[in-house]
């Protein structure tokens, strides 16, 4: 493969992998050599383009196992089981689960983007006092009535134990870096506001903070959260196949139907149609 | 655009549409002219590559409205609502609904393939007596313990009223063609078997028969069934957005949980791991 | 089915359809009666919950045929063909096409949301002079450096012929209502800015304006645009199946590969791993 | 949570996980404890319902890294990049990649199903001589003109080096179990047929054999293959976002267009429509 300089005019560019007749090079390494690497290290390699350190691998393991499964109390799992109950294709089920990550669950990217942008602003500001900067961030959000993402949890009022576990793993590995520290400063400033004492940094937010601190983009942060849940989704899909139930429906006793009874011909005439549409 | 003969060596071929700097040609017609055509006629044009007759359009309307919506008692609708409750993207919801069509619902293609293949065999056989051929088809399926798709309905025991309505529209339009007649002959032979009197041709099977009779492929038959349900799915997604509920879950009172309580460290040691994984 | 008042406490609500043992009611009408209705009218019914007038049906036909297909020069078509070349499932192909609608193509919802929100603000403002209000909208967008969506076209500099065709159909049907007129006023104010004379309202924006004027939500607007393109996608998927090519790839001669050659063991050691990972 | 016996009548069953107000139990273990486990071990746990041994984890790492990425020469990667070029949603891109696994690539399940079914038949047959049984399998497939999946490779004629690497890892871990050995016997019988010497067991087939030998179902085998490729897909999606290109199309110079020019009014009249449709 000759990568001539004029190549850069081509329609597509990639640095992820290249194929020769005898070999596949992923991020530059022979696939033959990479086979057998811990999958977490390979995940880091494929996304970031370089091998992780053992510490980075350990923290990425924590990220990927941080939200393994919430069972049937997660929209994506429900969606996947409904899909495969009618279309017994594991691809379709996994796709439905991935598509269910979003603003209301699993998509860490909003929080990651906030952390990432705030950190960029901090660096650009020339400010050196993290806490003073954080106070301004909170004041500005308050003035603009913008929500700061990642604070508060349905159950936990002061600390979220899962968030603490994740943070400790990142701290121990020396990977609770500046963007995460700045986010904590923002949190400290936030809970000074009256009535906000009960808003801990939640687990999803810590996942976001760690991925930003490790250098992942906000979208990659969401991708890692999705990846982490897929083994659980596979478990559920296998249960669904084993259930021998097909064509799952929403149990009618959980539905309020508000469907009147009408006559089509009458209403078509009223809408201006010839009677014999 | 010069369509030189050597072009046929190119990697991609298409006859669906072409773009020039000023115009778009769909199936050869200027898009500017096609705008405003009844969408059903445009659907036929885009898939089959030629304009339909008014009769074909009427029958295609019947196909597309044949399975408009089964509400929350359809897996695809449920899946779509779960997906958008977490990821408020209508694209994701429509994709989940499309992915839910399959062997256990909405995918007419298995029946369409049976009708299509049986008709090909009939033509290739030189046989002229449709009923005699149909008897052989049923006998062969019985011997090979293969199910003939499309017979039987959960509720209707002798005739499926929706199937009759669909067939009548095709008959009136002169489009209940030979493949559909052969399938009916197979059905007549089938219900002669003892205990099979209660198996009418169901509505999905009539949809399949009509689409084959109109010259659609089995896969296109499924696509038309999916297309027909999507407006209902849009209605449900809009209801979901309006509900202000997010992160839908499977109501826990409908779930049997069979999750024991175990200790990780104990079981890791038992599985041969060093204690400090 | 008894719809007792306490039903409203149930987890799910729907007004789209209901099933009884013998019948399906879609938006209140017996499905048996609705079968055979023009699909465009049925589409309106399922989404809006009421029958359209013949004029509304005509305009909705224009919306649905407004962007029938841009062939292989549309990302969604390309994605669908790549998917089915490896996984010959028409469901998967249609899902990929639906997922490709977005901020950079086919998703009319951003423009529809702008039109819808601007119209709400206009009504709330008490202002009666549409043009005076429009001037303020443009001035505010300029001050806040926000882009007003829907103005400008890659090819057409003064008027977009397709946009004109769509507008004329809506005008003739009496459905070019106030939100659309307000959007035109915003456009008139916009092109007064120096250097903006060459920015016509484009076809996608007119689609958005018409759907808002007809009372569809922004998300429904995108759904209608997706629905309109699906028949073309089916045509392409059928071509792909007929091509007998499988496992489509990006032609290597269109790719610039920037993949260095590295040694795994060396780099693992450098990253702090024991040599025998 | 009381799991009373009557619970088993409920509509849904699951053993994957359960949530209490304070904790999440995945496969019985507190999620808090599982956080930080190697993701590969967690993947095994979530799918199989029990912790893997270190050897099983090692082999699963090999499975997951067995097909990390084939770059732009894989349909799923291409599909994902096309999708996100128009809809910048990483969920949509991952879904498109998952949907691209199928009969013509990445779906190991057909081979896994063959291996699994053949092994079941072997055990049921009472036969003790693996090679004698394998001869019969090959003879029967030949008689029925059925293809045995997994033999042959586009490039490698005698041995597939990647397949050898994977097999060695499974052998070393003591996990190249009976189903895999039987499959090899089938291969030995197969290459005795004249003209078949050049058909090695390929890498995808070895992946299938290993997953069956480890007790995964055919569908789970495909899921693992998909999971293994997703990090590479994330890498490509990030490249696509960074490219600043939007609305990717199939380069026109790679397309043969076969779109005639026709007149709509003429052809509508010929198809039997009133001229003023």
Top-confidence residue, A21 or B217: B217
Distance (Å, whole) CA A271 – CA D254: 50
Band the pLDDT of D275: cuts 50, 70, 90: low
Cβ contact, residue pair C16, B217, below 8 Å: no
Per-residue pLDDT at A3 exceeds 90: no
Q: Which is nearest to D98 in space by CA: A85, A18, C99? A: C99
Mean pLDDT across A119-148: 95
User: D interface mutation test: which of C12, C57, C75, C88 has the most D CBs within 10 A?
Assistant: C75
Residue range D219-246: mean pLDDT, rounded: 97
User: Residue A2: what pLDDT?
Assistant: 46
**DSSP letter string, chain C:** ----GGGGGSSEEE-SEEE-SS-EEETTEEHHHHTTS-HHHHHHHHHHSSPPPHHHHHHHHHHHTTT---GGGSHHHHHHHHHHHHS--HHHHHHHHHHT-BTTBB-THHHHHHHHHHHHHHHHH----HHHHHHHHHHHHHHTTPPPTTB--SS-SS--HHHHHHHHHHHHTT---HHHHHHHHHHHHHTTSTT-TT-PBPHHHHHHHHHHHTT--HHHHHHHHHHHHHHHHHHHHHHHHHHT--S----GGGEEE------HHHHHHHTT--TT-
pLDDT at A261 over 50: yes
What are the chain B neighbours of D27 within 8 Å (beta carbons)? Answer: 259, 262
Whether the pLDDT of residue B3 is over 70: the answer is no
Find the range with the poorest average confidence among B29-33, C20-24, C268-272, D223-227. Answer: C20-24
pLDDT-derived band at B276 (thresholds 50, 70, 90) equals: low
Q: Any alpha helices (H) in B199-276, and if so which ranges?
A: 203-213, 218-243, 264-270
| Chain C closest-CA separation from residue B145 CA (Å) | 26
SS3 category, A43? helix
Joined together, the tokens standing for residue D268 give 């509508």
Q: How far apart are CA B233 and CA B70, in angstroms?
A: 10
Quick check: C2 pLDDT over 60?
no
Q: Which domains does chain A have, with CATH numbers?
A: 73-100+229-243 (no CATH), 109-227 (1.10.230.10)
| Neighbouring subunits of A (3+ Cβ pairs under 8 A) | B, C, D
The answer on pLDDT for A159 being more than 90 is no
C-alpha span between D110 and D149 (Å, rounded): 7
Choose between C198 and D45: higher pLDDT: D45
Instruction: Compute how many other C-beta atoms are within 10 angstroms of the C-beta atom of residue A72.
Output: 25
Whether A207 shows a pLDDT value over 90: the answer reads yes
CA distance C46 to C29: 11
pLDDT in tens, D98-149: 999 999 988 899 999 999 999 999 999 999 999 999 999 999 999 999 999 9
Residue A150 pLDDT: 92
User: Which residues of chain B neighbour C35 with C-beta distances below 8 Å?
Assistant: 62, 65-66, 162, 165-166, 169
What does the mean pLDDT of chain A come to? 93
Do B17 and D91 count as a contact with CB atoms less than 8 A apart? no
The yes-or-no verdict on residue A1 having pLDDT over 50 is no
**β-pairing verdict for B29-30 and B24-26:** antiparallel
Query: What confidence score (pLDDT) does residue C4 get?
Result: 52
State pLDDT tens for residues D147-175: 999 998 877 777 888 999 999 999 999 99
User: What confidence score (pLDDT) does residue A6 get?
Assistant: 67
In which residue are the tokens 């029925």 written?
A: D144
Q: Indicate if the pLDDT at residue A53 is higher than 60.
A: yes
Chains in contact with D, where contact requires at least 3 CB pairs less than 8 Å apart: A, B, C
Which residues in chain A are closer than 8 Å to C258, comparing Cβ atoms? 3, 13-15
CA-closest candidate to residue B167, choices B155, B180, B182, B152: B180
Distance from CA of C232 to the nearest CA of D (A): 14
Mutation target for D interface from A10, A28, A36, A55: give the one with most D CBs within 10 A. A36
Query: Whole-angstrom Cα distance, residue D200 to residue D187?
Result: 8
**Cβ burial, residue B94 (10 Å; 0-12/13-18/19+):** buried
pLDDT confidence bin for B28, thresholds 50/70/90: very high
Instruction: Compute φ and ψ for A174, nearest 5 degrees.
Output: 70, 25
Q: What global pTM score does this model have?
A: 0.96
For the segment B143-170, the average pLDDT, to the nearest whole number, is 89
- Residue B209 predicted with pLDDT over 90: yes
| Angle in degrees, CA D127, D130, D132, rounded to 5 | 80
Give the number of A-B residue pairs with CB atoms closer than 8 Å. Answer: 134
What would the DSSP string read from start to end of B100-123? T-BTTBB-THHHHHHHHHHHHHHH
CA distance C93 to chain A (A): 11
In order, the DSSP letters of A172-227 are HTT---HHHHHHHHHHHHHTTSTT-TT-PBPHHHHHHHHHHHTT--HHHHHHHHHH
Q: What is the pLDDT of residue C156?
A: 76
Q: Which residues of chain C are within 8 Å of residue D100 when distances are taken between CB atoms? A: 82-83, 86-87, 92
> In chain C, what residues touch B161 (CB-CB under 8 Å)?
32
Q: Which of A189, A200, A191 is nearest to A155 (CA)?
A: A200
Q: Do C91 and B107 touch (CB under 8 A)?
A: yes
For residue D21, name the pLDDT band (cuts at 50, 70, 90).
confident
> What pLDDT sits at residue A275?
65
* pLDDT tens profile D186-205: 999 999 988 888 899 999 99
pLDDT at C22: 80
Q: Dump pLDDT digits (tens) for B160-205.
A: 889 999 999 999 999 999 999 999 999 999 999 888 888 999 999 9
pLDDT at B226 over 70: yes
C-alpha count within 13 angstroms, C-beta hemisphere, residue A153: 18
State mean pLDDT over B17-27: 91
pLDDT at D1 over 50: no
């Amino acid at each position: 493969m000759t990568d001539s300089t004029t190549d850069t005019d081509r329609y597509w560019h990639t640095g992820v992998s290249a194929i020769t007749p005898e070999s596949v090079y992923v991020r530059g390494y022979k696939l033959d050599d990479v086979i057998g690497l811990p999958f977490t290290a390979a995940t880091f390699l494929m996304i970031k383009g370089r091998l992780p350190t053992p510490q980075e691998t350990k923290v990425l393991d924590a990220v990927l196992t941080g939200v393994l499964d919430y069972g049937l109390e997660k929209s994506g799992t429900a969606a996947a089981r409904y899909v495969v109950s009618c279309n017994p294709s594991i691809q379709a089920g996994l796709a439905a689960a991935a598509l269910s990550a979003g603003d209301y669950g699993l998509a860490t990217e909003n929080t990651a983007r906030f952390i990432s942008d705030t950190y960029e602003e901090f660096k650009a500001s020339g400010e050196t006092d993290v806490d003073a900067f954080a106070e301004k961030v909170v004041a500005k959000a308050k003035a603009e009535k913008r929500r700061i993402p990642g604070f508060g949890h349905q159950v936990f009022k002061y600390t979220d134990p899962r968030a603490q576990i994740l943070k400790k793993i990142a701290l121990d590995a020396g990977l609770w870096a500046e963007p995460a520290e700045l986010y904590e400063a923002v949190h400290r400033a936030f809970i000074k506001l009256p009535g906000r004492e009960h808003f801990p940094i939640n687990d999803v937010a810590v996942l976001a903070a760690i991925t930003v601190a490790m250098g992942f983009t906000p979208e990659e942060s969401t991708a890692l959260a999705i990846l982490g849940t897929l083994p659980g989704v596979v478990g559920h899909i296998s249960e669904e196949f084993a259930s021998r139930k097909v064509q799952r429906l929403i149990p009618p006793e959980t539905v309020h139907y508000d469907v009147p009874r009408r006559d089509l011909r009458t209403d078509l005439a009223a809408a201006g149609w010839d009677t014999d549409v």
